Amino acid sequence: MDWPKNRPGDGHLACAEAAHLPLAAPAILGAVSRSGKSHATYGCALIEGRRTGFTLRIPSLFDLKGNTAMASTRKKSSAQDAISLLKADHRQVEEWFSEFEGARGTSKKQQLASKICEALTIHTTIEEEIFYPAFLEATEDKDIHHEAIVEHDGAKKLIAQIRGMSPEDDYFDAKVTVLSEMIKHHVKEEEKPGGMFAEAKKSELDLAAVGEQLLARKRELQSHYKAA
């Protein structure tokens, strides 16, 4: 069957026989993909049945490819790999420690200390449960792994002490300050050239997959703390 050509300046493709639409659709889509500017502009083809008067919207291949690419881009941009997620945690806690240094009221100090302790507890948990084992398996670097675990142990002991205190206690501020210094050192070790994060990037570790696991576990723990 001979199909009429597109009318100049029109994004429509006329169908001479509506009854033949199911059989003609592949040919039409092929024509749309080859049509160039007219359908690239409209992003779709409208097929009109002259006898029935219906209008059917069929996305062109240009439109489908464009939407697929945009969806893929959005997915990639919203995804966060393991190292990006852990670094974001570092930056957040650093910000709270900085606020604590300038805080004067006891209620504000208590609020910040509680946020810091909760965030660090969740952070150390997801690292020890997911990231550290994956790192050790991928790199076999026991030195970096073991040092990180020991540093975590020291931080967790101090966190437990801070949680059992109040801003009115003599050593409350001092303990939060010491915890801040410990975390700064730990973060520096993880993020420095040749550190854990750099070694993880050089390995065959699937950072995107590990990032998804970290995020899922982090959200689970955050929900647990909110419910408590």
Token readout for 194 is 């040749």
Cα separation values, 177 from 4, 7, 109, 115, 184, Å: 79, 75, 12, 15, 11
| Residue of higher predicted confidence among 79 and 227 | 227
Distance of CA 50 to the CA centre of its chain: 50
The whole-chain average pLDDT of the chain stands at 77
Report the percent of the chain where pLDDT is more than 90. Answer: 63
| Residue of higher predicted confidence among 70 and 121 | 121
184/134 Cα distance (integer angstroms): 23
| Residue of higher predicted confidence among 49 and 123 | 123
pTM across the whole model: 0.67
pLDDT at 21 over 70: no
Token readout for 62 is 């240009």
In residues, how long is the chain? Answer: 228
**What mean pLDDT do residues 108-126 have?**
98
| Residue of higher predicted confidence among 215 and 12 | 215
- Minimum mean pLDDT among 7-21, 72-86, 142-156, 210-224: which range? 7-21
Q: So what's the pLDDT on residue 79?
A: 64
Alpha helices per DSSP H over the chain: 21-34, 37-42, 61-78, 82-102, 106-126, 132-139, 142-163, 172-191, 196-202, 207-227
60-105 residue pLDDT tens: 333 433 444 444 433 443 468 999 999 999 999 999 999 999 999 9
Q: So what's the pLDDT on residue 105?
A: 93
Q: So what's the pLDDT on residue 59?
A: 43
**What mean pLDDT do residues 3-30 have?**
40
Domains and CATH numbers, the chain: 12-75 (no CATH), 79-227 (1.20.120)
